[in-house]
Amino acid sequence: MAVTQHPKEEKTVVLIKPDGVKRGLIGEIISRFERRGLKVIALEMFQPKKDQIDEHYPKDEAWITRIGQKTIKNYQTYGADPKKEFGSEDPFEIGKIVRGWLMDYMTSGPLVKMVVRGIHAVNMVRKIAGATMPADAEMGTIRGDFSVDDATAANRDKRGIHNIVHASETPEEAEHEINFWFAPEEINDYKRAEEDIMF
């Protein structure tokens, strides 16, 4: 019989991106997860290699195409022409170019990696992070409170969108990222003082 884990055991991965680290937002970001009742169970700063970032982000056609589609949607909102910037309107072709810029951005300085655990951790952390395009992100989210970038601006300068944090999108993505970035002994267990009161 399959043993289903308790909802409060769900885990996700957060990376504080180079802009988040360089802007001194590490403490602010972590405290937003902690005060919501999510638990940091692994934490480290490091300088990533390009091949690590290449492994971290999916490379399948569906993922790359989705990045392209998100980009095209952002261009439509602001009346910008993807063909002018990318020489193509094909989401897969656009996604490939964006992925290359993302590699450069993510290796441009140290990252902070962490595992965050708690009730619906994947969705909770995505909500706290806010929308991919900071200019569209709601106030009260990390991206909405501290950043302003979007695809039309970033792509004009041929770079990744500076949006402070990465957060796994699904429990499956989280599992891949936990196994990729952390050894089992780097993941810790402890009880938070307010645990019995909050949940």
Residues of the shown chain interacting with ligand ADP in the complex, contacts defined by CB under 6 A: 67, 70-71, 98, 101-102, 132, 151, 154-155, 160-161, 163, 166, 169
Which of 65, 192 has the CB closer to ligand ADP? 65
In the list ligand ADP, Mg ion, none, the entry touching 112 (Cβ below 5 to 8 angstroms by class) is none
Which of 76, 188 has the CB closer to ligand ADP? 76
SS3 category, 1: coil
Given the residues 56, 162, 166, 176, the one annotated as active site: 166
Largest CA distance in the chain: 56
In the list ligand ADP, Mg ion, none, the entry touching 115 (Cβ below 5 to 8 angstroms by class) is none
Cβ burial of 15 (10 Å; 0-12, 13-18, 19+) is buried
* Tokens, residue 42: 């692994």
Find the angle CA(184)-CA(48)-CA(107) to the nearest 5 degrees. 150
User: Residue numbers of the site for Mg ion (CB under 5 A)?
Assistant: 169
b/e sequence 131-165, b meaning 16+ C-beta within 10 Å: bbbbbebeeebbbbbbbebbbbbbbeeebbbbbbb
In the list Mg ion, ligand ADP, none, the entry touching 164 (Cβ below 5 to 8 angstroms by class) is none
Nearest approach in angstroms of CB 66 to Mg ion is: 9
Nearest approach in angstroms of CB 93 to Mg ion is: 19
* Tokens, residue 161: 């969108």
Assess whether 166 carries a catalytic annotation.
yes
Nearest approach in angstroms of CB 132 to Mg ion is: 7
The residues annotated as belonging to the active site are 166
